[in-house]
Amino acid sequence: MVKFLVTGMVVIGQLFLLSPVMAQTLQFDIAGFKVEGNTLLTEAQIQQTLAPFVGPGREMAEINKAVEALRLAYREAGYPVVQVFPPEQTSSANQIVLKVIEGKVKSVTVVGNTAYDSDNIRASLPPLKEGTSPQVNRLEAAIALANENSAKQVGVNFQAGTQPGDLDAKINVSEELVSKYFVTADNTGSRTTGYTRTGLGFQHANLFNLDHVLTMQYLTSPEYVDKIASYSVGYRIPFYDLGLALDLLGAYSDTEVVNTTTPAGQMNFTGQGVMLAARLNQALPTIGDIRHKLIYGIEYKDFSNDGTINGAAPGGTWGSVSAQPLSLAYAAQVARPTFQASGSAGFYANLPGGHSGSDSDYTAARNGSEPDWNLWRLNGSIGIPLPQDWQTRVTVSAQITEDLLIPGEQFGAGGATSVRGYNERVTSGDEGITTNFEIYTPELSQYLTLPGSQLRALAFWDVGVVAKNGTLLANEKRSQSLASFGVGLRFNYMKNLNAKFDFGWVQQDIVSSDSPPKPLGERNDVRAHFSLSYVFNPF
Protein backbone atom coordinates (compact mmCIF):
# COMPACT_ATOMS: atom_id res chain seq x y z
CA MET A 1 0.00 0.00 0.00
CA VAL A 2 1.22 3.51 -0.83
CA LYS A 3 0.35 6.51 1.32
CA PHE A 4 1.19 10.10 0.46
CA LEU A 5 1.32 12.63 3.25
CA VAL A 6 2.03 15.44 0.80
CA THR A 7 -0.15 16.83 -1.95
CA GLY A 8 0.35 18.88 -5.04
CA MET A 9 -0.08 22.65 -4.64
CA VAL A 10 -1.25 25.46 -6.86
CA VAL A 11 0.73 28.67 -6.46
CA ILE A 12 -0.62 31.72 -8.22
CA GLY A 13 2.08 34.01 -9.61
CA GLN A 14 2.20 37.72 -8.98
CA LEU A 15 0.65 38.56 -12.33
CA PHE A 16 -2.54 36.76 -11.34
CA LEU A 17 -2.97 38.17 -7.84
CA LEU A 18 -5.69 40.45 -9.09
CA SER A 19 -8.73 41.88 -7.42
CA PRO A 20 -12.07 40.07 -7.90
CA VAL A 21 -13.32 42.89 -10.11
CA MET A 22 -10.30 42.74 -12.42
CA ALA A 23 -10.48 38.93 -12.50
CA GLN A 24 -14.06 39.19 -13.70
CA THR A 25 -13.48 41.87 -16.35
CA LEU A 26 -9.95 41.34 -17.69
CA GLN A 27 -9.86 39.28 -20.87
CA PHE A 28 -6.89 38.34 -23.02
CA ASP A 29 -5.84 35.93 -25.73
CA ILE A 30 -3.91 32.74 -24.98
CA ALA A 31 -1.86 31.57 -27.94
CA GLY A 32 -0.49 28.56 -26.09
CA PHE A 33 1.17 27.20 -22.97
CA LYS A 34 4.80 26.57 -22.19
CA VAL A 35 5.44 24.08 -19.39
CA GLU A 36 8.80 24.23 -17.63
CA GLY A 37 10.25 21.48 -15.44
CA ASN A 38 8.33 18.55 -16.89
CA THR A 39 10.05 15.20 -17.43
CA LEU A 40 7.18 12.79 -16.76
CA LEU A 41 4.58 13.57 -19.43
CA THR A 42 5.10 13.77 -23.16
CA GLU A 43 4.71 17.09 -24.93
CA ALA A 44 1.70 15.66 -26.76
CA GLN A 45 0.02 14.76 -23.46
CA ILE A 46 0.61 18.24 -22.11
CA GLN A 47 -0.67 20.07 -25.17
CA GLN A 48 -3.73 17.82 -25.39
CA THR A 49 -4.50 18.57 -21.75
CA LEU A 50 -4.10 22.34 -22.12
CA ALA A 51 -5.67 22.74 -25.59
CA PRO A 52 -9.19 23.53 -24.25
CA PHE A 53 -7.82 26.66 -22.55
CA VAL A 54 -6.17 28.17 -25.65
CA GLY A 55 -7.98 30.87 -27.61
CA PRO A 56 -9.15 34.49 -27.65
CA GLY A 57 -11.13 36.25 -24.94
CA ARG A 58 -9.87 34.20 -22.01
CA GLU A 59 -10.15 35.18 -18.36
CA MET A 60 -8.00 34.57 -15.30
CA ALA A 61 -10.18 31.63 -14.28
CA GLU A 62 -8.99 29.81 -17.38
CA ILE A 63 -5.43 29.83 -16.04
CA ASN A 64 -6.54 28.22 -12.80
CA LYS A 65 -8.50 25.61 -14.74
CA ALA A 66 -5.46 24.86 -16.89
CA VAL A 67 -3.34 24.39 -13.77
CA GLU A 68 -5.89 22.00 -12.27
CA ALA A 69 -6.21 20.09 -15.55
CA LEU A 70 -2.44 19.61 -15.75
CA ARG A 71 -2.27 18.48 -12.14
CA LEU A 72 -5.04 15.98 -12.89
CA ALA A 73 -3.12 14.71 -15.92
CA TYR A 74 -0.11 14.00 -13.71
CA ARG A 75 -2.32 12.29 -11.15
CA GLU A 76 -4.01 10.09 -13.76
CA ALA A 77 -0.57 9.15 -15.10
CA GLY A 78 0.33 7.93 -11.60
CA TYR A 79 2.23 10.96 -10.30
CA PRO A 80 0.16 12.61 -7.55
CA VAL A 81 3.04 14.57 -5.96
CA VAL A 82 3.57 17.26 -8.58
CA GLN A 83 3.28 21.01 -8.01
CA VAL A 84 1.97 23.12 -10.87
CA PHE A 85 1.79 26.92 -10.80
CA PRO A 86 2.01 29.93 -13.13
CA PRO A 87 5.08 32.04 -12.25
CA GLU A 88 5.30 35.75 -12.98
CA GLN A 89 4.78 36.09 -16.71
CA THR A 90 7.42 37.87 -18.79
CA SER A 91 6.40 36.85 -22.30
CA SER A 92 4.44 39.29 -24.45
CA ALA A 93 3.45 36.77 -27.11
CA ASN A 94 0.32 35.58 -25.29
CA GLN A 95 2.26 32.46 -24.30
CA ILE A 96 1.39 31.38 -20.76
CA VAL A 97 4.20 29.74 -18.79
CA LEU A 98 3.38 27.06 -16.23
CA LYS A 99 6.03 25.86 -13.81
CA VAL A 100 6.20 22.21 -12.70
CA ILE A 101 8.04 20.86 -9.67
CA GLU A 102 8.04 17.07 -9.79
CA GLY A 103 8.27 15.22 -6.50
CA LYS A 104 11.36 13.00 -6.45
CA VAL A 105 12.51 10.49 -3.87
CA LYS A 106 15.31 11.98 -1.77
CA SER A 107 15.75 9.12 0.71
CA VAL A 108 14.45 5.61 1.38
CA THR A 109 14.43 4.00 4.83
CA VAL A 110 13.34 0.49 5.80
CA VAL A 111 11.76 -0.17 9.20
CA GLY A 112 10.33 -3.25 10.92
CA ASN A 113 12.56 -5.82 9.21
CA THR A 114 14.62 -8.35 11.16
CA ALA A 115 14.73 -11.60 9.17
CA TYR A 116 14.93 -9.79 5.82
CA ASP A 117 17.78 -7.33 5.30
CA SER A 118 17.24 -3.90 3.81
CA ASP A 119 18.82 -4.87 0.49
CA ASN A 120 16.25 -7.66 0.13
CA ILE A 121 13.36 -5.30 0.86
CA ARG A 122 14.66 -2.65 -1.53
CA ALA A 123 15.22 -5.23 -4.28
CA SER A 124 11.57 -6.30 -4.09
CA LEU A 125 10.43 -2.72 -4.90
CA PRO A 126 12.43 -1.68 -7.99
CA PRO A 127 10.18 1.32 -8.87
CA LEU A 128 11.23 2.99 -5.58
CA LYS A 129 14.61 4.62 -6.21
CA GLU A 130 16.29 7.81 -5.08
CA GLY A 131 16.21 10.58 -7.64
CA THR A 132 13.09 9.32 -9.40
CA SER A 133 9.43 10.29 -9.27
CA PRO A 134 7.36 7.39 -7.92
CA GLN A 135 4.83 6.10 -10.44
CA VAL A 136 2.07 4.98 -8.10
CA ASN A 137 0.45 2.33 -10.30
CA ARG A 138 3.75 0.57 -10.96
CA LEU A 139 4.77 0.87 -7.31
CA GLU A 140 1.45 -0.59 -6.15
CA ALA A 141 1.89 -3.50 -8.55
CA ALA A 142 5.41 -4.10 -7.19
CA ILE A 143 4.07 -4.04 -3.63
CA ALA A 144 1.36 -6.55 -4.55
CA LEU A 145 3.95 -8.89 -6.08
CA ALA A 146 6.29 -8.57 -3.09
CA ASN A 147 3.41 -9.25 -0.70
CA GLU A 148 2.71 -12.59 -2.37
CA ASN A 149 5.67 -13.82 -0.34
CA SER A 150 4.20 -15.71 2.62
CA ALA A 151 6.68 -14.36 5.19
CA LYS A 152 6.77 -10.61 4.58
CA GLN A 153 4.42 -7.74 3.87
CA VAL A 154 5.53 -4.27 2.83
CA GLY A 155 3.90 -0.86 2.58
CA VAL A 156 5.29 2.53 1.57
CA ASN A 157 4.67 5.97 3.07
CA PHE A 158 5.86 9.25 1.57
CA GLN A 159 6.49 12.51 3.43
CA ALA A 160 7.64 15.91 2.23
CA GLY A 161 11.38 16.50 2.46
CA THR A 162 13.18 19.62 3.59
CA GLN A 163 13.43 21.05 0.07
CA PRO A 164 10.60 21.68 -2.41
CA GLY A 165 9.96 18.57 -4.48
CA ASP A 166 11.86 16.25 -2.14
CA LEU A 167 10.13 13.10 -0.89
CA ASP A 168 11.26 10.88 1.96
CA ALA A 169 10.04 7.30 1.53
CA LYS A 170 9.62 4.84 4.38
CA ILE A 171 9.11 1.13 3.73
CA ASN A 172 7.20 -0.52 6.57
CA VAL A 173 7.81 -4.26 6.89
CA SER A 174 5.93 -6.92 8.84
CA GLU A 175 7.33 -10.43 8.98
CA GLU A 176 6.36 -13.99 9.83
CA LEU A 177 8.42 -17.17 10.07
CA VAL A 178 10.72 -17.39 7.06
CA SER A 179 11.43 -21.09 7.61
CA LYS A 180 8.57 -23.13 9.00
CA TYR A 181 7.05 -26.56 9.28
CA PHE A 182 3.35 -27.26 9.23
CA VAL A 183 1.13 -30.20 10.07
CA THR A 184 -2.40 -30.60 8.74
CA ALA A 185 -5.37 -32.82 9.39
CA ASP A 186 -8.81 -33.01 7.78
CA ASN A 187 -11.48 -35.46 6.71
CA THR A 188 -11.45 -34.92 2.95
CA GLY A 189 -10.91 -38.61 2.15
CA SER A 190 -13.43 -41.27 1.21
CA ARG A 191 -14.82 -44.48 2.62
CA THR A 192 -12.60 -46.64 0.41
CA THR A 193 -9.36 -44.75 1.12
CA GLY A 194 -10.06 -43.58 4.67
CA TYR A 195 -11.78 -40.32 5.52
CA THR A 196 -8.90 -38.77 7.46
CA ARG A 197 -5.97 -37.04 5.80
CA THR A 198 -2.87 -35.94 7.70
CA GLY A 199 0.08 -34.08 6.31
CA LEU A 200 3.51 -32.73 7.12
CA GLY A 201 5.07 -29.87 5.21
CA PHE A 202 8.00 -27.49 5.11
CA GLN A 203 8.40 -24.03 3.63
CA HIS A 204 11.31 -21.63 3.28
CA ALA A 205 10.31 -18.21 1.97
CA ASN A 206 13.69 -16.58 1.33
CA LEU A 207 16.18 -18.95 -0.22
CA PHE A 208 19.44 -17.27 -1.33
CA ASN A 209 18.05 -13.99 0.10
CA LEU A 210 16.18 -13.65 -3.21
CA ASP A 211 12.66 -14.44 -1.96
CA HIS A 212 12.72 -17.85 -3.61
CA VAL A 213 10.03 -19.94 -1.91
CA LEU A 214 10.28 -23.71 -1.53
CA THR A 215 7.27 -25.66 -0.27
CA MET A 216 7.10 -29.43 0.23
CA GLN A 217 4.25 -31.52 1.60
CA TYR A 218 3.47 -35.16 2.28
CA LEU A 219 -0.11 -36.37 2.78
CA THR A 220 -1.45 -39.75 3.79
CA SER A 221 -4.42 -41.49 5.34
CA PRO A 222 -3.87 -42.74 8.91
CA GLU A 223 -6.15 -45.66 8.07
CA TYR A 224 -4.06 -46.67 5.03
CA VAL A 225 -0.57 -45.30 5.61
CA ASP A 226 1.03 -48.09 3.61
CA LYS A 227 -1.28 -47.62 0.61
CA ILE A 228 -2.28 -43.95 0.45
CA ALA A 229 0.32 -41.24 -0.08
CA SER A 230 0.83 -38.07 -2.03
CA TYR A 231 3.85 -35.83 -2.41
CA SER A 232 3.98 -32.29 -3.66
CA VAL A 233 6.65 -29.66 -4.15
CA GLY A 234 6.41 -26.05 -5.22
CA TYR A 235 9.09 -23.52 -6.04
CA ARG A 236 8.51 -19.81 -6.66
CA ILE A 237 11.06 -17.51 -8.30
CA PRO A 238 10.21 -13.79 -8.31
CA PHE A 239 11.66 -11.53 -10.99
CA TYR A 240 10.93 -8.18 -9.37
CA ASP A 241 12.68 -6.07 -12.03
CA LEU A 242 10.34 -7.57 -14.63
CA GLY A 243 7.21 -7.63 -12.47
CA LEU A 244 7.03 -11.42 -12.84
CA ALA A 245 7.01 -14.52 -10.65
CA LEU A 246 7.41 -18.11 -11.84
CA ASP A 247 5.70 -20.97 -10.00
CA LEU A 248 6.93 -24.51 -10.59
CA LEU A 249 4.66 -27.22 -9.18
CA GLY A 250 4.77 -30.98 -9.01
CA ALA A 251 2.65 -33.65 -7.34
CA TYR A 252 2.38 -37.40 -7.23
CA SER A 253 -0.68 -39.04 -5.73
CA ASP A 254 -2.55 -42.29 -5.52
CA THR A 255 -5.47 -40.85 -3.60
CA GLU A 256 -8.82 -39.71 -4.91
CA VAL A 257 -8.57 -36.04 -3.91
CA VAL A 258 -5.49 -34.06 -2.96
CA ASN A 259 -5.69 -30.53 -1.53
CA THR A 260 -2.07 -29.46 -1.20
CA THR A 261 -0.36 -26.19 -0.35
CA THR A 262 1.96 -24.55 -2.89
CA PRO A 263 3.55 -21.10 -3.17
CA ALA A 264 0.81 -20.30 -5.71
CA GLY A 265 -1.95 -21.29 -3.31
CA GLN A 266 -4.09 -24.36 -2.83
CA MET A 267 -3.70 -26.99 -5.59
CA ASN A 268 -6.55 -29.44 -6.15
CA PHE A 269 -5.53 -32.68 -7.87
CA THR A 270 -8.11 -35.33 -8.71
CA GLY A 271 -7.23 -38.87 -9.70
CA GLN A 272 -4.22 -41.11 -9.41
CA GLY A 273 -1.04 -40.09 -11.15
CA VAL A 274 1.38 -37.23 -11.69
CA MET A 275 0.96 -33.50 -12.17
CA LEU A 276 3.61 -31.00 -13.30
CA ALA A 277 2.89 -27.32 -13.86
CA ALA A 278 4.60 -24.02 -14.59
CA ARG A 279 2.78 -20.72 -14.11
CA LEU A 280 4.15 -17.28 -14.89
CA ASN A 281 2.51 -14.45 -12.92
CA GLN A 282 2.64 -10.97 -14.45
CA ALA A 283 1.74 -8.14 -12.09
CA LEU A 284 -0.20 -5.39 -13.89
CA PRO A 285 -0.20 -1.69 -12.97
CA THR A 286 -2.99 -1.01 -10.53
CA ILE A 287 -6.20 0.69 -11.60
CA GLY A 288 -7.19 2.83 -8.65
CA ASP A 289 -7.31 0.37 -5.75
CA ILE A 290 -7.70 -2.67 -8.01
CA ARG A 291 -4.70 -5.00 -7.98
CA HIS A 292 -4.59 -7.50 -10.80
CA LYS A 293 -2.35 -9.85 -12.74
CA LEU A 294 -2.15 -12.25 -15.67
CA ILE A 295 -1.18 -15.89 -15.17
CA TYR A 296 0.26 -17.90 -18.07
CA GLY A 297 0.36 -21.64 -17.45
CA ILE A 298 1.21 -25.02 -18.83
CA GLU A 299 0.41 -28.29 -17.07
CA TYR A 300 1.04 -31.96 -17.57
CA LYS A 301 -1.24 -34.51 -15.89
CA ASP A 302 -0.92 -38.25 -16.25
CA PHE A 303 -3.75 -40.23 -14.67
CA SER A 304 -2.84 -43.82 -13.88
CA ASN A 305 -4.70 -46.80 -15.30
CA ASP A 306 -5.92 -48.40 -12.08
CA GLY A 307 -8.04 -45.69 -10.57
CA THR A 308 -11.74 -45.14 -10.18
CA ILE A 309 -13.08 -41.60 -9.87
CA ASN A 310 -16.65 -40.55 -9.23
CA GLY A 311 -18.24 -39.21 -12.37
CA ALA A 312 -16.73 -41.75 -14.76
CA ALA A 313 -18.87 -44.08 -16.82
CA PRO A 314 -20.34 -47.14 -15.05
CA GLY A 315 -17.51 -49.45 -14.15
CA GLY A 316 -15.33 -46.36 -13.90
CA THR A 317 -11.88 -47.77 -14.76
CA TRP A 318 -9.91 -46.64 -17.77
CA GLY A 319 -6.55 -46.86 -19.47
CA SER A 320 -3.85 -44.36 -18.74
CA VAL A 321 -4.73 -40.89 -20.04
CA SER A 322 -2.85 -37.60 -19.94
CA ALA A 323 -3.64 -33.92 -20.38
CA GLN A 324 -1.31 -31.03 -21.12
CA PRO A 325 -3.34 -27.81 -21.14
CA LEU A 326 -2.09 -24.32 -21.83
CA SER A 327 -3.85 -21.63 -19.82
CA LEU A 328 -4.26 -17.89 -19.57
CA ALA A 329 -5.96 -16.45 -16.50
CA TYR A 330 -6.76 -12.99 -15.19
CA ALA A 331 -7.03 -12.40 -11.44
CA ALA A 332 -7.99 -9.22 -9.59
CA GLN A 333 -8.71 -8.09 -6.07
CA VAL A 334 -9.87 -4.92 -4.38
CA ALA A 335 -10.12 -4.01 -0.69
CA ARG A 336 -12.25 -1.10 0.46
CA PRO A 337 -13.81 -0.22 3.80
CA THR A 338 -17.23 -1.26 2.50
CA PHE A 339 -16.24 -4.56 0.88
CA GLN A 340 -13.39 -6.84 -0.18
CA ALA A 341 -13.63 -8.71 -3.47
CA SER A 342 -11.49 -10.98 -5.61
CA GLY A 343 -12.01 -12.98 -8.76
CA SER A 344 -10.35 -14.83 -11.60
CA ALA A 345 -11.19 -16.11 -15.06
CA GLY A 346 -9.03 -18.64 -16.85
CA PHE A 347 -9.13 -20.24 -20.29
CA TYR A 348 -7.59 -23.71 -20.68
CA ALA A 349 -6.84 -25.40 -24.02
CA ASN A 350 -5.39 -28.89 -24.13
CA LEU A 351 -2.53 -29.80 -26.44
CA PRO A 352 -3.35 -33.16 -28.09
CA GLY A 353 -0.74 -35.88 -28.25
CA GLY A 354 2.05 -36.85 -25.94
CA HIS A 355 2.11 -39.83 -23.62
CA SER A 356 -1.40 -41.30 -23.27
CA GLY A 357 -2.93 -38.31 -25.01
CA SER A 358 -4.17 -39.82 -28.26
CA ASP A 359 -7.76 -40.10 -29.48
CA SER A 360 -7.86 -43.76 -28.48
CA ASP A 361 -6.58 -42.98 -24.98
CA TYR A 362 -9.34 -40.42 -24.51
CA THR A 363 -11.99 -42.74 -25.90
CA ALA A 364 -10.87 -45.42 -23.45
CA ALA A 365 -11.09 -42.94 -20.58
CA ARG A 366 -14.55 -41.71 -21.62
CA ASN A 367 -16.45 -42.57 -24.74
CA GLY A 368 -16.89 -39.46 -26.88
CA SER A 369 -14.12 -37.41 -25.28
CA GLU A 370 -11.39 -35.92 -27.47
CA PRO A 371 -7.94 -34.56 -26.59
CA ASP A 372 -8.49 -31.10 -28.15
CA TRP A 373 -10.78 -29.90 -25.37
CA ASN A 374 -10.97 -26.40 -23.93
CA LEU A 375 -12.81 -24.84 -21.03
CA TRP A 376 -13.26 -21.77 -18.84
CA ARG A 377 -12.80 -21.75 -15.07
CA LEU A 378 -14.24 -18.87 -13.06
CA ASN A 379 -13.93 -17.98 -9.39
CA GLY A 380 -15.07 -15.02 -7.33
CA SER A 381 -15.71 -13.91 -3.78
CA ILE A 382 -16.96 -10.85 -1.96
CA GLY A 383 -16.93 -10.07 1.74
CA ILE A 384 -19.00 -7.27 3.24
CA PRO A 385 -18.65 -6.01 6.84
CA LEU A 386 -21.97 -5.48 8.57
CA PRO A 387 -22.92 -3.34 11.58
CA GLN A 388 -21.74 -4.43 15.03
CA ASP A 389 -18.86 -6.51 13.61
CA TRP A 390 -21.03 -9.02 11.74
CA GLN A 391 -19.68 -10.15 8.37
CA THR A 392 -21.05 -11.79 5.26
CA ARG A 393 -19.25 -13.58 2.44
CA VAL A 394 -20.26 -15.06 -0.91
CA THR A 395 -18.02 -17.28 -3.05
CA VAL A 396 -18.66 -18.69 -6.52
CA SER A 397 -16.78 -21.31 -8.54
CA ALA A 398 -17.74 -22.41 -12.04
CA GLN A 399 -16.57 -24.26 -15.14
CA ILE A 400 -17.89 -23.81 -18.68
CA THR A 401 -17.19 -26.02 -21.70
CA GLU A 402 -18.90 -27.55 -24.72
CA ASP A 403 -16.64 -30.62 -24.70
CA LEU A 404 -16.80 -34.06 -23.12
CA LEU A 405 -14.03 -34.10 -20.55
CA ILE A 406 -12.06 -36.92 -19.00
CA PRO A 407 -12.94 -37.39 -15.30
CA GLY A 408 -9.81 -35.66 -14.02
CA GLU A 409 -10.78 -32.40 -15.77
CA GLN A 410 -14.45 -32.44 -14.82
CA PHE A 411 -15.97 -30.00 -12.36
CA GLY A 412 -16.47 -31.71 -9.01
CA ALA A 413 -19.06 -30.70 -6.42
CA GLY A 414 -19.49 -31.61 -2.79
CA GLY A 415 -17.21 -31.41 0.21
CA ALA A 416 -15.59 -29.02 2.67
CA THR A 417 -14.77 -26.28 0.13
CA SER A 418 -17.76 -26.89 -2.15
CA VAL A 419 -21.25 -27.95 -1.03
CA ARG A 420 -20.88 -29.00 2.58
CA GLY A 421 -22.81 -31.93 3.99
CA TYR A 422 -21.82 -34.18 1.07
CA ASN A 423 -18.70 -36.29 0.67
CA GLU A 424 -15.75 -34.84 -1.23
CA ARG A 425 -16.37 -34.56 -4.97
CA VAL A 426 -19.47 -36.66 -4.59
CA THR A 427 -20.49 -35.91 -8.17
CA SER A 428 -18.93 -34.25 -11.19
CA GLY A 429 -19.73 -33.03 -14.67
CA ASP A 430 -18.27 -31.27 -17.66
CA GLU A 431 -19.82 -28.02 -16.50
CA GLY A 432 -20.89 -26.82 -13.11
CA ILE A 433 -21.22 -24.05 -10.56
CA THR A 434 -21.19 -23.90 -6.78
CA THR A 435 -22.07 -20.95 -4.57
CA ASN A 436 -21.51 -20.49 -0.84
CA PHE A 437 -23.38 -17.92 1.23
CA GLU A 438 -21.96 -17.31 4.71
CA ILE A 439 -22.68 -14.96 7.60
CA TYR A 440 -20.23 -14.61 10.48
CA THR A 441 -20.89 -13.53 14.05
CA PRO A 442 -18.94 -10.78 15.79
CA GLU A 443 -15.63 -11.76 17.39
CA LEU A 444 -16.19 -14.29 20.20
CA SER A 445 -12.64 -14.71 21.48
CA GLN A 446 -13.36 -12.58 24.55
CA TYR A 447 -15.25 -15.54 25.95
CA LEU A 448 -12.17 -17.77 25.66
CA THR A 449 -9.86 -15.65 27.84
CA LEU A 450 -7.06 -16.76 25.51
CA PRO A 451 -4.96 -13.77 24.39
CA GLY A 452 -3.98 -13.88 20.74
CA SER A 453 -6.95 -15.98 19.67
CA GLN A 454 -9.76 -15.24 17.24
CA LEU A 455 -13.08 -17.05 17.11
CA ARG A 456 -16.18 -16.59 15.01
CA ALA A 457 -19.25 -18.73 14.41
CA LEU A 458 -21.01 -18.85 11.07
CA ALA A 459 -24.09 -20.08 9.30
CA PHE A 460 -23.99 -21.10 5.65
CA TRP A 461 -26.10 -22.08 2.68
CA ASP A 462 -24.39 -23.93 -0.17
CA VAL A 463 -25.81 -24.75 -3.59
CA GLY A 464 -24.37 -26.36 -6.70
CA VAL A 465 -25.19 -28.00 -9.99
CA VAL A 466 -23.13 -30.13 -12.39
CA ALA A 467 -24.02 -31.15 -15.94
CA LYS A 468 -22.63 -33.54 -18.53
CA ASN A 469 -22.35 -32.91 -22.25
CA GLY A 470 -22.83 -35.34 -25.11
CA THR A 471 -24.74 -38.59 -25.24
CA LEU A 472 -25.59 -40.01 -21.84
CA LEU A 473 -24.94 -43.59 -20.85
CA ALA A 474 -27.47 -45.79 -19.10
CA ASN A 475 -28.51 -44.39 -15.70
CA GLU A 476 -26.51 -41.18 -16.26
CA LYS A 477 -28.28 -37.92 -15.47
CA ARG A 478 -27.86 -34.83 -17.60
CA SER A 479 -27.46 -32.75 -14.45
CA GLN A 480 -27.55 -33.08 -10.69
CA SER A 481 -28.17 -30.39 -8.10
CA LEU A 482 -26.80 -30.13 -4.58
CA ALA A 483 -27.92 -27.97 -1.67
CA SER A 484 -27.20 -27.79 2.03
CA PHE A 485 -27.20 -25.47 5.00
CA GLY A 486 -25.36 -25.58 8.28
CA VAL A 487 -23.26 -23.93 10.96
CA GLY A 488 -19.56 -23.76 11.71
CA LEU A 489 -16.67 -22.26 13.68
CA ARG A 490 -13.46 -20.51 12.62
CA PHE A 491 -10.62 -20.35 15.15
CA ASN A 492 -7.01 -19.26 14.99
CA TYR A 493 -4.37 -18.67 17.61
CA MET A 494 -1.28 -16.48 17.20
CA LYS A 495 -1.19 -17.15 13.44
CA ASN A 496 0.09 -20.64 14.28
CA LEU A 497 -3.03 -22.72 14.83
CA ASN A 498 -5.99 -22.59 12.46
CA ALA A 499 -9.11 -24.69 12.81
CA LYS A 500 -12.32 -24.98 10.79
CA PHE A 501 -15.40 -26.96 11.77
CA ASP A 502 -18.58 -27.17 9.70
CA PHE A 503 -21.76 -29.23 10.08
CA GLY A 504 -23.83 -29.48 6.91
CA TRP A 505 -27.39 -30.77 6.43
CA VAL A 506 -28.09 -32.13 2.96
CA GLN A 507 -31.20 -30.69 1.29
CA GLN A 508 -31.03 -32.31 -2.15
CA ASP A 509 -30.88 -36.01 -3.04
CA ILE A 510 -28.26 -37.15 -5.56
CA VAL A 511 -27.54 -40.64 -6.90
CA SER A 512 -24.74 -42.47 -8.69
CA SER A 513 -24.72 -43.70 -12.29
CA ASP A 514 -24.56 -47.33 -11.18
CA SER A 515 -27.21 -49.87 -12.06
CA PRO A 516 -29.24 -49.71 -9.95
CA PRO A 517 -28.38 -46.12 -8.84
CA LYS A 518 -26.94 -45.75 -5.35
CA PRO A 519 -27.70 -42.78 -3.09
CA LEU A 520 -24.75 -40.40 -2.78
CA GLY A 521 -26.58 -37.93 -0.58
CA GLU A 522 -30.07 -37.93 0.86
CA ARG A 523 -32.11 -35.12 2.35
CA ASN A 524 -31.32 -34.52 6.04
CA ASP A 525 -28.04 -36.44 5.89
CA VAL A 526 -25.57 -34.73 8.22
CA ARG A 527 -21.84 -34.56 7.70
CA ALA A 528 -19.14 -32.81 9.71
CA HIS A 529 -16.12 -31.28 8.00
CA PHE A 530 -12.99 -30.28 9.87
CA SER A 531 -9.51 -29.06 9.04
CA LEU A 532 -6.62 -28.23 11.35
CA SER A 533 -3.23 -26.72 10.58
CA TYR A 534 -0.38 -25.85 12.89
CA VAL A 535 2.68 -23.86 11.83
CA PHE A 536 5.91 -23.99 13.84
CA ASN A 537 9.69 -23.76 13.70
CA PRO A 538 11.42 -25.96 16.29
CA PHE A 539 14.86 -24.50 15.59
Q: Pick from 381, 380, 487, 396: which is nearest to 439 by CA? A: 487
| Tens digits of residue pLDDT in 427-480 | 999 999 999 999 999 999 999 989 999 999 999 999 999 999 999 988 889 999
pLDDT per position as a tens digit, 407-418: 889 999 999 999
Read off the pLDDT of residues 287-298 as tens digits, 9 standing for 90 and up. 989 999 999 999
Query: What are the tens digits of pLDDT across the range 217-233?
Result: 999 999 988 888 999 99
Q: Find the radius of gyration of the CA atoms of the chain.
A: 29
What domains are there in the chain, each with its CATH number?
A: 2-102 (3.10.20.310), 104-175 (3.10.20.310), 410-539 (no CATH)
Residue 265: helix, strand or coil by DSSP?
Answer: strand
- What's the pLDDT at 297? 98
What is the rounded average pLDDT of the residues 113-129?
A: 96
Q: How far is residue 347 from each of residues 290, 298, 327, 362, 397, measured CA to CA in Å?
A: 21, 11, 5, 21, 14
pLDDT for residue 254: 78
Entry pTM: 0.86
Per-residue pLDDT at 14: 34
Contact 193, 256 (CB under 8 A): yes
- At position 444, the amino acid (one-letter code) is L
Band (pLDDT 50/70/90 cuts) for residue 57 is confident
In which band, very low, low, confident or very high, does the pLDDT at 318 lie, cut at 50, 70 and 90? very low
In this model, does residue 18 exceed pLDDT 70? no
What is the pLDDT at residue 70? 95
Q: Is the peptide bond before 538 cis (omega within 30 degrees of 0)?
A: no
What pLDDT score was predicted for residue 220?
95
Read off the pLDDT of residues 131-171 as tens digits, 9 standing for 90 and up.
999 999 999 999 999 999 999 999 999 998 888 889 999 99
